Structure 1
Amino acid sequence: MSVRTLARWIRGVTAASLLSTLLIPATATATAQPHPGATPTDHGLVFVDASTLPPSELRKLPTPVPLNHYRGENRPATKPQPLRSSLSAEEPDLRAECAKHEAAAKSKTGWVKSRFESCYKRHYDLVLRDKNNRDSPRGRLIFDVWVLGFAHDGKREVDFAASVENIQVAASEDEDAKQWRIGQHFSSSIDASSSDPNPQLTQPTSTKRDELLGVWDSRPTWTLVYGSPDLGAKYAQGNLQRVFAALDMTMTVNSPTVDPYVEVGAYQPAFRFDYAGPIAGKYKGTVFTDARVELLMSQKDPAANESALHIYDATKRPERTFPSFVGKSVPGEKEPLHRLVDTDKSEKQRANSIKECKKIWGDYSGTRLQCDEYPFASTHEGSLKGNNRFSVRLIEGTDNEAGGRMLNSMYTANRILEGDPFYVKITP
């Protein structure tokens, strides 16, 4: 997916200030407590989730209408500005894909499409009620929250497009929904224990937006750009300049007559910056660390069908593989593999696997066969792991080499660094 159009669309957002803190995970809560820094109030009115109320109470309110129709207004609704000016069949809109993954998209981590694309989408339906007279609802507020995230392969930067859309309201005669406000508040943190020395994060000039409903309705989208400064190429000295960071979005709803509704930890995307050099493909970049990365291979692929069958047998039918023992299981399908970058250790694992092949099949030199090993020599789960949860098999040499190229392409396409997890999926 191209992010160039997104970069052109995000204007006027500059990076400023530095943050270097330990990552403290937040938990999602929705309460009627003031947002940090707000003046404590007790108006007796509070917003609660409509799903917690009986239908009989909801029927006491008028049917919610779009904000642009509220109290007789009839102005055109504002549509969110698209992230790209044009779409093609080969480049589907992340927003449209996100809507198809509703359950994942509304979770704390959102739907993580890949190491470079992520989205959050949640539908809010809140009812305003009197804490002392719960049978008399005073209003209803419905809206959608979106956050689309784009990490960059080739740049230490991640962009987020956040929005509040499709606002609908219902209010009793003594409530003015025009005075209701919605807030999006982003805070960031660094996992210093996992990062390389001196991790730093550059933040956008603005990390919060608290607006009247009418302002959101007319300008639903805003953007945040996070980055991390680099010191040039240091990977040869072992410094990959990895910075593990995360955001925490707090949602608020408020008005002059209502105790604030606060939901901390509504969305918590995690990402990593690095300057890892050639082992990552492009020398520097950013990824969403919650993405599930898979090496996909097919048994119908003539270039590597023997490699694919070997992996399939190892993970699905380990009793057909060598070394053979009762209760054998091989990781990669449900348990992740982890990349091993140290070439010396990889070569030792490869030599050990070849030794195992010769023990089973004898000397195969002078043939077109090669010893295929799984898990791969370039993983920490290889044949020297020490638990014998591996498999070796003689296969056509060109097939073995094609499988190796697929593995290396997966590493660089997804910025898989030392210790990064990935899975293997074999299709029939």
Structure 2
Amino acid sequence: MPSRHRLARLLQGAAAATAALTMLAAAAPATAHPGPGSAALSSERVFVEASTVPAEELADFNSPQPLADYVRERSPRRAATAPTAAAAPAADAPEELRKQCAEHAGKAKGAKGWIKSRFESCQKRPYDLVLRNKRGTETIGRLWFDQWILGFAQDGSRRVDYTSSIGNIRVQPIPSEDATKWHIGQYFSHTINAATSGPDAKVNAPQTTSRDELLGVWDRDPRWTLTYTSPDTGAFDPKNDQRVDTLVTMDLTAGSPNATPFRDGVGAYRSNVRFDYAGQIAGKHKGTVFTEARVQLTMSRKDPEVKESALHIYDAQKRPERTFPSFVGKSVPGEKEPLHRLVDKDKQDDNRTKSIGECKKVWGNYTRSGLQCDEYPFASTREGSMKGDNRFSVRLIDGKDNLAGGKRINKTYTLNRVLDGDPFYVKITD
């Protein structure tokens, strides 16, 4: 396999040639001469995205052929052992995640994929690549395949696993091209964000982080798993949550003995993960999360346990003119603008003290009423009443309802490993 440094040089060195080819493919008919800047293409064959190639050039290349069928036709002796293209997807990965990933195809095909939760993510990215001749004027082959990456972060362990696979491989070469010599490569790497991580932040990468194989090898053995871990001190430290913010990326290449690598595969996949040892405030003392997951507390106005809490939040978000303190143009965050967790107990108490004071200004002494002063945004957020912008609301509600609402908030924190400063949203349903 080529080294990581060699891959980087290949990718960087061909950036200009790639741009030139893309423009040529998008604008020129099959018989057109290469335009300025295309000289670098005269001695090489290049894969490009099919979407950049004029439709008339692909007229003879619109019938994908499964790789196994192609191999069978070329070599009858191998037909008995050739795997089918249907076997390529990662069958040993949780089927429910794969199904949901396919249902979110629009997001799943992006570089960060579809992030189901703080602990599950996936990418299903279809590729349709075209191999062009030396002058870039004739299509001589086409390659289709699907890339799957399933990510699993661990609540209770400083570990994240990625199962990557290449599947559904189909080819359409012209007679003079041998598609069994085409190959696909995946190259994983990681970087640590020192600015947001704790001291001595470390990540242990898997022993193997790259795989460059012929199409037939991918067809027979489509899956591989990478595990990243982060060491901790072995003990909880309330002054150091030992967080390590990490970006895991994957570059993809495709080519043949006569072709340079597929250029647009740099950063084909990226995943932001965080390892921490935050202690009890996060539920399990340590764990790992996908930080780009949307954390959301959902409450219903029809839920008898928290209906008054939910109505208060609904009014604050949708009808702030009905809330106190009252002023023209008031808006309260949490629905489209995130809230951020606050774990400092003293600052939480300061929020509560000010909110109670606001309640007393409006409703007087309510001590023996069975009601409690509900505040939104919550005292456990940086957007609480002490922030100083008056974008908050207070209301007297049933005490049991208020306590139940508080439990829902804490459950959201611990089930999602929401740490100090982490963003989250609040949604109220009917």
Partner of 1:107: 110
Q: Does the aligned pair in 1 maintain the 2:89–2:168 contact within 8 Å? A: no
SS at match of 1:415: coil
Structure 1 residue 80: deviation in Å? Answer: 3.3
Q: In structure 2, which of residues 165, 168, 174 is the aligned counterpart of residue 166 of structure 1?
A: 168
Q: Does 1:82 align with 2:84?
A: no
Q: How does 1:287-366 map to 2 (within 5 A)?
A: 287-366=289-368
Q: Does the aligned pair in 2 maintain the 1:293–1:422 contact within 8 Å? A: yes
Structure 1 residue 62: deviation in Å? Answer: 6.7
Q: How does 1:29-428 map to 2 (within 5 A)?
A: 32=18, 43-61=43-61, 63-70=63-70, 72=73, 74=79, 75-77=82-84, 78-84=87-93, 93-134=96-137, 136-236=138-238, 238-262=239-263, 263-428=265-430
Question: What CA distance in whole angstroms lies between the structure 2 residues aligned with 1:31 and 1:349?
Answer: 59
TM-score w.r.t. length of structure 1: 0.87
CA deviations on 1:10-53 (whole Å, 9 max, x unpaired) are xxxxxxxxxxxxxxxx9xx89759xxxxxx99742111111111
Structure 1 residue 204: deviation in Å? Answer: 0.3
Q: Does the aligned pair in 1 maintain the 2:157–2:288 contact within 8 Å? A: yes
Structure 1 residue 162: deviation in Å? Answer: 0.2
Q: Does the aligned pair in 1 maintain the 2:320–2:331 contact within 8 Å? A: yes
Structure 1 residue 83: deviation in Å? Answer: 3.0
Question: What CA distance in whole angstroms lies between the structure 1 residues aligned with 2:41 and 2:331?
Answer: 59
CA deviations on 1:189-240 (whole Å, 9 max, x unpaired) are 000000010100000010000000000000001000001001022422x110
Partner of 2:30: none
Partner of 2:7: none
Range moving further from structure 2, 117-126 or 254-263: 254-263
Query: Between Structure 1 and Structure 2, which shows a larger proportion of helix residues?
Result: 2
Structure 1 residue 56: deviation in Å? Answer: 1.3
Describe the shift of the 1:42–1:286 C-alpha distance in structure 2 as closer, same or farther (beyond 3 A): farther
Structure 1 residue 131: deviation in Å? Answer: 4.3
Structure 1 residue 279: deviation in Å? Answer: 0.4
Structure 1 residue 310: deviation in Å? Answer: 0.1
Q: Does the aligned pair in 2 maintain the 1:30–1:261 contact within 8 Å? A: no
Question: Any gaps of 5 or more consecutive residues in structure 2?
Answer: 1-11, 20-39
SS at match of 2:225: strand
Question: What CA distance in whole angstroms lies between the structure 2 residues aligned with 1:83 and 1:357?
Answer: 56
Which of 1 and 2 has higher RCO (CA within 8 Å, sep 6+)? 1
Q: Does the aligned pair in 1 maintain the 2:88–2:166 contact within 8 Å? A: no
Range moving further from structure 2, 44-53 or 370-379: 44-53
Structure 1 residue 283: deviation in Å? Answer: 0.2
Structure 1 residue 255: deviation in Å? Answer: 1.4
Question: What CA distance in whole angstroms lies between the structure 2 residues aligned with 1:284 and 1:130?
Answer: 54
SS at match of 1:159: strand
Structure 1 stretches of 4+ with a deviation exceeding 3 A read 29-33, 40-43, 73-76
Q: Does the aligned pair in 1 maintain the 2:83–2:220 contact within 8 Å? A: no
Q: Does the aligned pair in 2 maintain the 1:62–1:171 contact within 8 Å? A: no
Q: Does the aligned pair in 1 maintain the 2:83–2:219 contact within 8 Å? A: no
SS at match of 1:204: coil
Q: Does the aligned pair in 2 maintain the 1:41–1:259 contact within 8 Å? A: no
Describe the shift of the 1:31–1:144 C-alpha distance in structure 2 as closer, same or farther (beyond 3 A): farther
Q: Does the aligned pair in 1 maintain the 2:90–2:165 contact within 8 Å? A: no
Describe the shift of the 1:65–1:164 C-alpha distance in structure 2 as closer, same or farther (beyond 3 A): same
SS at match of 2:375: strand
Q: Does the aligned pair in 2 maintain the 1:115–1:151 contact within 8 Å? A: yes
Q: Does the aligned pair in 2 maintain the 1:32–1:259 contact within 8 Å? A: no
TM-score w.r.t. length of structure 2: 0.87
Structure 1 residue 61: deviation in Å? Answer: 3.3
Q: Does the aligned pair in 2 maintain the 1:60–1:137 contact within 8 Å? A: no
SS at match of 2:204: strand
Question: Any gaps of 5 or more consecutive residues in structure 1?
Answer: 1-25, 34-39
Describe the shift of the 1:121–1:96 C-alpha distance in structure 2 as closer, same or farther (beyond 3 A): same
SS at match of 2:144: strand
CA deviations on 1:67-116 (whole Å, 9 max, x unpaired) are 001151654413434235xx7xxxx6101100111111111211110000
Partner of 2:9: none
Question: What CA distance in whole angstroms lies between the structure 2 residues aligned with 1:96 and 1:260?
Answer: 31
Describe the shift of the 1:133–1:290 C-alpha distance in structure 2 as closer, same or farther (beyond 3 A): closer
Describe the shift of the 1:31–1:353 C-alpha distance in structure 2 as closer, same or farther (beyond 3 A): farther
Identity %: 58
Q: Does the aligned pair in 1 maintain the 2:45–2:136 contact within 8 Å? A: no
SS at match of 2:387: coil
Number of corresponding residues? 387
1:117 counterpart letter in structure 2: E
SS at match of 2:267: strand
1:153 counterpart letter in structure 2: D
